[in-house]
Amino acid sequence: MQGGSTGIGYGLKYQARCIADVKADTDHTSFIAGTLSLKEENEVHLIRLSSGGTELVCEGLFSHPNEIWDLSSCPFDQRIFSTVFSSGESYGAAIWQIPELYGQLNSPQLERIGSLDAHNSKIKCTLWWPSGRHDKLISIDEQNLYLWSLDSSKKTVQVQSQESAGMLHYLSGGAWDPHDVNSVASTCESSIQFWDLRTMKKTNSIEHAHVRNVDYDTKKKFILVTAEDESGIHIWDLRMLKVPILELLDMHTGILYTDCCLPTLMTWAVRCNPEYDGLVLSAGTDSAVNLWTASPPSSDDLSSESLMESHTRSVDPLLNSYSDYEDSVYGLAWSSREPWIFASLSYDGRVVVESIKPHLSKK
Amino acid sequence: MGMEDGDIPLDDKAKRMRDLLSSFYSTDPPHSMPANTSSKYATLDTINTTSFDAHQYMNLLVQKSNLESLLQRHVEMAAEIKNLDTDLQMLVYENYNKFISATDTIKRMKNNVVGMESNMEQLLEKIMSVQSRSDGVNTSLFEKREHIEKLHRTRNLLRKVQFIYDLPSRLGKCIKSEAYADAVRFYTGAMPIFKAYGDSSFQDCKRASEEAVAVIIKNLQGKLFADSESIQARAEAAMLLKQLNFPVDSLKVKLLEKLEQFIDNLQLESTEISNAVVGRDEPPKQGKTAESVPSSHEASTYEFVEAVRAYRVIFPDSEQQLIKLAHDLVTKHFEAIQQQIKRQICSTDLLGLLRVIWTNVLLMDEVLPDVALSDFSLEASRLAVKHYIDSTFSHLLLDISDALTRPKEGAEEEYYLQSALDASKKAVTEGSMHVLQDFRQLLDNDLGLLVKLRELIIDWVQEGFQDFFRKLDDRFLLLSGKTNLTSQDRGLTEETQKVKVLSGLILVMAQLSVFIEQNAIPRITEELAASFSGGGVRGYEYGLAFVPAEICRIFRSAGEKFLHLYINMRAQKISILLRKRFTTPNWVKHKEPREVHMFVDLFLQELEAIGTEVKQILPQGLHRKHSRTDSNGSTISSRSNPLRDDKMSRSSAQRARSQLLETHLAKLFKQKMEIFTKIEHTQESVVTTIVKLCLKSLQEFVRLQTFNRSGFQQIQLDIQFLRTTLKETVEDEAAIDFLFDEVVVAAAERCLDPIPLEPPILDKLIQAKLTKTSVQSPTSSSPHGITKRERAEEGEASVNTACFCRVVLQSLLFKELRGYMMEAQPCETISQPRVKAVIRLGSETYSVNASKGILSEQLVSMKEESMSILKDFITKHNVPNDVPDEIDDISSGDDDDGETSEKVTLKSKKQRK
């Protein structure tokens, strides 16, 4: 299970936490990553997988004023992305545009097309409209949820609506439902909350503590994957919020303890494959990326019978564990163009792109 | 004659034989010869045959004989001829004589026949006269004879009438003498007459006799139902009743009902008895009752059997009903047994009950051999025994989980885990041994029923154990709250279970699993092999039902699972504490570190709690300290540790940066650190793993923050303190060291201005803290041996009381308590209670008095008491969590106090020196 160094590596200069798939780039498989260095000049790397898929090429290197805590790429324009950054105490979020003809320029500067500067507490993340050309953008800080409308041509961004999550909730992140563009999930200390963007009201919540990361299944409606400190990865059906329909690490611990005696460490990132059903990646403190096959009972036959079956089924859900990392892995992104490829970013600034093709057949 | 050489004897012999045979089979061979050949074979013997030819004979004789013999022959022949002539003459003479006598007889007959005709006519005449005379007599006597015959008939009739008139009294007599058979015979004899004339001439008579018969019937019925009568008598009675045309079927039904009722009574009796058995609590009496049950039971069964036997004789065609009855009886017996089993009985009782049933069945079998009652009861007892085994196992399961979850009352708080473990261990071993013993009793018994079931029982026991251990594993999982339950009850249990689950329980279960795997299963396997082998009804392809290897595997993995679960639970609890610690303050505006932070205390407290739990349950590991060469990777980092401290002490940002670089470089060269090794079931391993996990999450939390210089220094101080205190407890020192370094490095990386504390200050602060903790817990047996604890001697007690008060108050200060008045009044007097504190929380006032021991002990006990008061207060007032937040806010309030106290500490140290 110990994955050898099958991946293609790429080194960032500094420590880093975030990497994103450049969804809008339909010609190449590219990723964008930002560094997290408190004292150095931070950088944004545009990385492209060479056509042969054998090496990672730096397509662009841009300096970024502050250390980057979150980064997401615009789904319709490959040159636009957003970052959440901080310097010491101050936090900010901005939308950037990679300058045209950057290949020719020696030290190209990112063009800031909008600052999400309505926040008054620590910003956690930005979310783009899940797919297609749309001017909506969400940013989440510790207490609030902002819906922005972006005009990329006029280079303006405006708060469209805003809602406070309440004093007691410290929001930590979120995800935009790709199936229902009016719904956004946000995570906080004790629960996962669901918001309706039309009314900006909370519609529902899952009482589940210490969720680190959340992702929607892009293929299957109503399926949500969460990663948390305490017990690994949970898969939820949004129509039955009481209990998760599947617990991945639980099964992992239940079945694999004899082979793998590592205790549970924090899982920091979880991502659903955009194409293949039930493939989930997770990464965290254990310096490894795990590929799971988590086929929750299909949404059509949620009878108790099939649930029972899925519980008693003793197939090992862990397909592979890529453990060739030196440090904790915080960044994780599937390529939407080539959905069997994913990029991971460990804290020491190493980007590793792996192909899961050998494991697809196993599934 | 050339053949003479060798063939002659044979030829001769063959010829003779042929001759003999031919003379034997054909009496007269020469006669059959054709004439032409006769000459050829003619012999002298032909003289006496019919085909004698004189010429031929002559020729032959002449040819064959010489003269002398011819002459002799001649003489012989002449003599023979003479003899023959004489014979012939004699014959002729005799024949003549006979002819003459016959002629004479014929002549005489002719003379006698002449006078016979007249005699004949006379005779005819006389016969005629005789006939006429006899006719006369006949006609003269005819009238009288007719009369006589009539008279005779009348007499017969009169006699019958007389009999009928006498019948009632006769019947009465019979009744008196109980000669019912005669009575019935008479009555049936008279029956046709009654039928013909009953309504007219014999009305009275009929009525009387019918009355008598009614009496008879009644008597007969009585007799039939009377158990005291002999069976023959009762059978006879039934026969008679049948002859009297009495509706016997209804009687039969009645009798059957009686039998049924009897069964019911019997059953009632038996349940009563068994109730008594169960109700009796004292074990010594049980033997007695078990014996008395069968005896009384047997008696009643005998009765029943007798009744059945009688019934069968009386009503020979009633098999079906009796079979049904017998089945009922057995079924009821087994129902009773099932009820008993539900109430958990021991095998002796079960044996007793089974024995009763079996004797009953055997008795019944005698009476009703073709009912196959024994088969039926065998089937039923099969079920019962199976049920018994099953229920025994489920009781055992319950016992064990009870032992787990309900520790004995009165067990000391500190050792409750140990007592729970001991109790459950005991429950497992003794329980299973007891169960085995029980089952062995079943096996050893020579009761017919059980002997037949022997193999099955063996299989069941084996299966039962297999099943039992699986269920035990499930139960453990359920108790740990980690089961994959079905969706319906999942939500419910998760809420209820999660709260209930104690981490200690999980640890107990982990160790219990190990115990089961290593001790209980081998023992049980041994026992099973000793006395429960040779089942194998299931067939050999399945092997034995109890597969110790599989169970061992299950429990080995369960043991590891629970240990991991325990570690995770504990680590998560601490992790929450750490998260609170790191998310709450504003690290960028952190104040200069003045002392080791509260969270370290809490962390250590948690570790101590873990230590006490672990100590009770887990064995001590082989005390091998993880020497530095043990793990390759760690050498650099741990060696670089003092080095780095050096560099850090140079207090320049530049240095810090180069040191970061150094770490990176070191990382490049060293092997990936194997931080998480296999967890063993030892105290050290578990504690170490928890510490490692916590440090790992500490590092993660640190990475999320940005620190100013003071913040970094605070972290440095805390870590340094932890490092010194934890070194003693943990196993894998190198790895832990590495992790500590990692935390500091992470903090340095996230620090805007990473200038570490000057070593003297660091040391001073740590010493201060150490002194504090060692005073706080001079007697407590904390698992993390504090290096300087030895210093905590009486001398320390002389340190100014004000200092201690501050110590106490500081550890009491929670964010939630801000605003509450608090007051400590150390009592300066030398009289026994020297420490006294009054805590006012809102409207409530608590006073704390420490009354014994040296001053430091008093303070410790006071601290503990006031802590518990505060805890109670907090829980009572439902404050959301008990994790204390930043203490800085408070200390900033009484900054002056703090400084003075520090001074005091320093001063006290100096004094000591």
Q: Which residue of A has its CA nearest to B709?
A: A88
Beta-carbon separation of A250 and B568 below 8 A? no
Kindly tell me if the per-residue pLDDT of B800 is higher than 60.
no
Say which range, A164-178, B372-386, B770-784, has the weakest mean pLDDT: B770-784
**Per-residue pLDDT reduced to its tens digit, B455-477:** 777 777 778 888 888 888 887 77
Whether residue B863 contacts residue B853, with contact meaning beta carbons closer than 8 Å, is answered with no
Alpha helix positions (H), B780-853: 801-812
**Which residues, at least 6 apart from B389, have a Cβ–Cβ distance to it below 8 Å?**
B439, B457, B460, B461, B464
Indicate which of A188, A190, A255, A262 best probes the interface with B, i.e. most B CBs within 10 Å of its own CB.
Answer: A262
Mean pLDDT over residues A36-44, rounded?
86
**Per-residue pLDDT reduced to its tens digit, B118-130:** 788 888 888 888 8
Kindly tell me if the per-residue pLDDT of B871 is higher than 60.
yes
Which residue pairs, CB below 8 angstroms and at least 24 apart, start in B248-257?
A: B248/B315, B251/B221, B251/B224, B252/B315, B252/B318, B254/B225, B255/B224, B255/B225, B255/B311, B255/B314, B255/B315, B256/B311, B256/B318, B256/B321, B256/B325
Using the Cα atoms of residue B877, residue B881, residue B883 and residue B887 in order, give the sign of their dihedral: negative
- Name every chain B residue with its beta carbon within 8 A of the beta carbon of A89: 586, 588-589, 706
Q: Which residues of A touch B (CB under 8 A)?
A: 15, 38-39, 86, 88-89, 170, 210, 229-231, 240, 242-243, 245, 247, 250, 253-254, 257-258, 261-266, 268, 285, 287, 304, 307-308, 311-312, 326, 328, 347-348
Distance from CA of A176 to the nearest CA of B (A): 24
- Residue A20: its pLDDT value, please? 92
* Residue contacts between A and B (CB atoms, under 8 Å): 93
Q: Which of the four pLDDT bands, split at 50, 70 and 90, describes residue B857? A: low
Residues counted in chain B: 913
* Among B93-107, B320-334, B778-792, the range of highest mean pLDDT: B93-107
Which of B482, B491, B706 faces A88 most closely, judged by CB atoms?
A: B706
Q: Which residue of B has its CA nearest to A261?
A: B678
Tokens 């563009």 found at: A181
Kindly tell me if the per-residue pLDDT of A304 is higher than 60.
no
Kindly tell me if the per-residue pLDDT of A159 is higher than 70.
yes
Mean pLDDT over residues B334-339, rounded?
75
- Residue B566: its pLDDT value, please? 82
What's the number of CA atoms in the CB half-sphere (13 Å) around residue B319? 8
Kindly tell me if the per-residue pLDDT of A19 is higher than 90.
yes
Residue B27 at interface with chain A, using a CB cutoff of 8 Å: no
Q: Which of the four pLDDT bands, split at 50, 70 and 90, describes residue B64? A: confident
- Name every chain A residue with its beta carbon within 8 A of the beta carbon of B571: 263
- Residue B877: its pLDDT value, please? 65
Q: Which residue of B has its CA nearest to A254?
A: B561
Beta-carbon separation of A38 and B679 below 8 A? no
Task: Please provide the average confidence, as pLDDT, over all residues in chain B.
Answer: 68
CA–CA distance, B264 with B335 (Å, rounded to integer): 13
Q: What are the angstrom distances between the C-alpha of A3 and each of B309, B653, B702, B726?
A: 84, 39, 29, 34
Q: Which of the four pLDDT bands, split at 50, 70 and 90, describes residue A63? A: confident
Q: Which of A31, A36, A37, A7 is nearest to A19 (CA)?
A: A31
Kindly tell me if the per-residue pLDDT of B93 is higher than 80.
yes
Residue B140 at interface with chain A, using a CB cutoff of 8 Å: no
Beta-carbon separation of B557 and A264 below 8 A? no
CA–CA distance, A193 with A176 (Å, rounded to integer): 12
- Residue B662: its pLDDT value, please? 55
Cα of B53 vs its chain's centroid, Å: 115
Residue B667 at interface with chain A, using a CB cutoff of 8 Å: yes
Mean pLDDT over residues A111-129, rounded?
86
Domain boundaries, chain A: 8-360
Q: Which residues of B401-413 are buried (b: 16+ CB within 10 A; e: fewer)?
A: bebbeebeeeeee
- Name every chain B residue with its beta carbon within 8 A of the beta carbon of A4: none
Kindly tell me if the per-residue pLDDT of B822 is higher than 70.
no
A8-360 maps to CATH 2.130.10.10: yes
Kindly tell me if the per-residue pLDDT of B758 is higher than 50.
yes
- Residue B880: its pLDDT value, please? 46
Residue B328 at interface with chain A, using a CB cutoff of 8 Å: no
Task: Please provide the average confidence, as pLDDT, over all residues in chain A.
Answer: 80
Kindly tell me if the per-residue pLDDT of B841 is higher than 80.
no
CA–CA distance, B35 with B40 (Å, rounded to integer): 10
**Per-residue pLDDT reduced to its tens digit, B625-669:** 443 333 333 333 333 333 333 333 333 444 444 555 555 555 544
Q: 3-state class of A73 per DSSP?
A: strand
CA–CA distance, B500 with B512 (Å, rounded to integer): 19
- Residue B627: its pLDDT value, please? 38
**Which residues, at least 6 apart from B646, have a Cβ–Cβ distance to it below 8 Å?**
none
Beta-carbon separation of B749 and A254 below 8 A? no
Order of all β-strands in the sheet with A232-237: A211-216, A223-228, A232-237, A246-247
Which of A89, A262, A326 faces B676 most closely, judged by CB atoms?
A: A262
Cα of B615 vs its chain's centroid, Å: 39
**Per-residue pLDDT reduced to its tens digit, B483-509:** 443 333 333 344 344 434 567 777 788
Query: What does pTM read for this prediction?
Result: 0.62
Mean pLDDT over residues B710-721, rounded?
88
Residues counted in chain A: 363
Interface confidence (ipTM) of the complex = 0.86
Q: What is the DSSP letter of A245?
A: S
pLDDT higher for B159 or B409? B159
**Per-residue pLDDT reduced to its tens digit, B169-179:** 877 888 887 77
- Name every chain A residue with its beta carbon within 8 A of the beta carbon of B749: 15, 38
pLDDT higher for A264 or B335? B335
Residue B564 at interface with chain A, using a CB cutoff of 8 Å: yes
CA–CA distance, A112 with A156 (Å, rounded to integer): 10
- Residue B23: its pLDDT value, please? 65
Q: What are the angstrom distances between the C-alpha of B875 and each of A87, A363, B810, B882?
A: 40, 50, 20, 8
Kindly tell me if the per-residue pLDDT of B851 is higher than 90.
no
**Per-residue pLDDT reduced to its tens digit, B535-581:** 555 444 455 567 778 888 888 888 887 887 788 778 888 888 888 88
CA–CA distance, B184 with B217 (Å, rounded to integer): 10
